[in-house]
Amino acid sequence: MSAGCGTTTTRSYMPGIFEALANLPKRGPKKHFVNIDGVKIEVSLERSLEIMKRGQEYYMLEDGEIVLKPIPKMKSKFRKLLGSNKGYHFVDNDIHWPEEIGEGGKTWQIEYE
Protein backbone atom coordinates (compact mmCIF):
# COMPACT_ATOMS: atom_id res chain seq x y z
CA MET A 1 0.00 0.00 0.00
CA SER A 2 1.07 3.53 -0.64
CA ALA A 3 1.83 5.86 2.21
CA GLY A 4 -1.08 8.00 3.40
CA CYS A 5 -3.82 6.12 1.52
CA GLY A 6 -4.36 2.91 3.46
CA THR A 7 -5.86 2.06 6.77
CA THR A 8 -2.86 0.13 7.99
CA THR A 9 -0.41 3.00 7.82
CA THR A 10 -0.47 6.08 9.98
CA ARG A 11 -1.38 9.35 8.36
CA SER A 12 0.90 12.30 8.75
CA TYR A 13 -1.32 15.13 7.51
CA MET A 14 -1.47 17.03 10.82
CA PRO A 15 1.47 16.20 13.00
CA GLY A 16 1.16 17.41 16.61
CA ILE A 17 -2.63 17.94 16.57
CA PHE A 18 -3.22 15.93 19.73
CA GLU A 19 -0.48 17.74 21.63
CA ALA A 20 -1.92 21.10 20.55
CA LEU A 21 -5.41 20.07 21.69
CA ALA A 22 -4.07 18.87 25.04
CA ASN A 23 -2.33 22.24 25.61
CA LEU A 24 -5.46 24.38 25.03
CA PRO A 25 -6.44 26.45 28.08
CA LYS A 26 -9.45 25.28 30.06
CA ARG A 27 -12.66 27.30 29.72
CA GLY A 28 -14.10 29.01 32.75
CA PRO A 29 -17.78 28.85 33.65
CA LYS A 30 -20.10 30.78 31.34
CA LYS A 31 -21.19 34.17 32.64
CA HIS A 32 -24.73 35.43 32.09
CA PHE A 33 -25.55 39.13 31.78
CA VAL A 34 -28.79 41.13 31.61
CA ASN A 35 -29.29 44.75 30.64
CA ILE A 36 -31.55 46.52 33.17
CA ASP A 37 -32.06 50.31 32.93
CA GLY A 38 -29.03 50.54 30.62
CA VAL A 39 -26.73 48.77 33.12
CA LYS A 40 -25.17 45.42 32.25
CA ILE A 41 -25.36 43.13 35.31
CA GLU A 42 -23.99 39.60 35.81
CA VAL A 43 -26.62 37.15 37.11
CA SER A 44 -27.02 33.41 37.56
CA LEU A 45 -28.37 31.19 34.78
CA GLU A 46 -31.72 30.73 36.55
CA ARG A 47 -32.17 34.49 37.09
CA SER A 48 -31.16 35.18 33.49
CA LEU A 49 -33.74 32.69 32.18
CA GLU A 50 -36.43 34.20 34.42
CA ILE A 51 -35.68 37.72 33.16
CA MET A 52 -35.56 36.57 29.53
CA LYS A 53 -38.89 34.77 29.94
CA ARG A 54 -40.73 37.81 31.28
CA GLY A 55 -38.76 40.52 29.44
CA GLN A 56 -36.06 42.93 30.54
CA GLU A 57 -38.40 45.93 30.21
CA TYR A 58 -40.47 44.64 33.17
CA TYR A 59 -37.52 44.86 35.62
CA MET A 60 -35.77 47.80 37.28
CA LEU A 61 -32.86 48.42 39.63
CA GLU A 62 -33.73 49.36 43.19
CA ASP A 63 -30.83 49.82 45.64
CA GLY A 64 -28.60 47.71 43.37
CA GLU A 65 -31.08 44.82 43.29
CA ILE A 66 -33.08 43.65 40.29
CA VAL A 67 -36.81 43.83 41.08
CA LEU A 68 -40.03 43.70 39.09
CA LYS A 69 -41.52 47.04 38.13
CA PRO A 70 -44.80 47.74 39.90
CA ILE A 71 -47.87 47.23 37.75
CA PRO A 72 -49.43 50.63 37.05
CA LYS A 73 -52.96 51.03 38.31
CA MET A 74 -55.30 51.51 35.39
CA LYS A 75 -57.40 54.62 35.47
CA SER A 76 -60.75 53.43 34.28
CA LYS A 77 -63.86 55.28 33.42
CA PHE A 78 -67.27 53.82 34.09
CA ARG A 79 -70.86 54.91 34.09
CA LYS A 80 -72.70 55.47 37.31
CA LEU A 81 -76.27 56.41 38.02
CA LEU A 82 -76.20 59.90 39.57
CA GLY A 83 -78.82 62.51 40.34
CA SER A 84 -79.21 65.41 37.92
CA ASN A 85 -81.56 68.28 37.09
CA LYS A 86 -83.46 66.29 34.49
CA GLY A 87 -83.38 62.52 34.29
CA TYR A 88 -85.12 59.16 34.64
CA HIS A 89 -87.60 58.21 37.38
CA PHE A 90 -87.81 54.44 37.97
CA VAL A 91 -90.61 52.12 39.07
CA ASP A 92 -89.76 50.91 42.62
CA ASN A 93 -86.17 52.21 42.13
CA ASP A 94 -85.50 49.40 39.63
CA ILE A 95 -83.11 50.73 36.98
CA HIS A 96 -84.54 48.31 34.40
CA TRP A 97 -88.01 49.92 34.57
CA PRO A 98 -87.86 53.64 33.77
CA GLU A 99 -91.20 55.31 34.35
CA GLU A 100 -90.69 58.85 33.06
CA ILE A 101 -88.15 61.54 32.35
CA GLY A 102 -88.56 64.58 34.56
CA GLU A 103 -87.05 67.08 36.97
CA GLY A 104 -84.84 65.68 39.75
CA GLY A 105 -84.31 62.30 38.12
CA LYS A 106 -81.18 60.24 37.65
CA THR A 107 -78.91 59.88 34.60
CA TRP A 108 -75.99 57.64 33.66
CA GLN A 109 -72.81 59.71 33.94
CA ILE A 110 -69.17 58.81 33.41
CA GLU A 111 -67.11 59.04 36.57
CA TYR A 112 -63.32 58.93 36.55
CA GLU A 113 -61.15 57.43 39.30
Same domain, 34 and 61: yes
- Whether 63 is covered by a domain: the verdict is yes
Same domain, 61 and 83: no
- Whether 61 is covered by a domain: the verdict is yes
pLDDT of residue 11: 60
Of 77, 84, 24, 34, the closest CA to residue 54 belongs to 34
Task: Read off the pTM.
Answer: 0.49
Same domain, 62 and 88: no
- Whether 17 is covered by a domain: the verdict is no
Q: How many domains does the chain have?
A: 2
Range of the domain at 35: 29-68
| Strand 32-36 to 39-43 pairing | antiparallel
The span from the CA of 106 to the CA of 90, in Å, is: 9
* Positions of the chain with pLDDT lower than 70, given as ranges: 1-12, 111-113
- Whether 19 is covered by a domain: the verdict is no
pLDDT of residue 48: 95
pLDDT of residue 57: 93
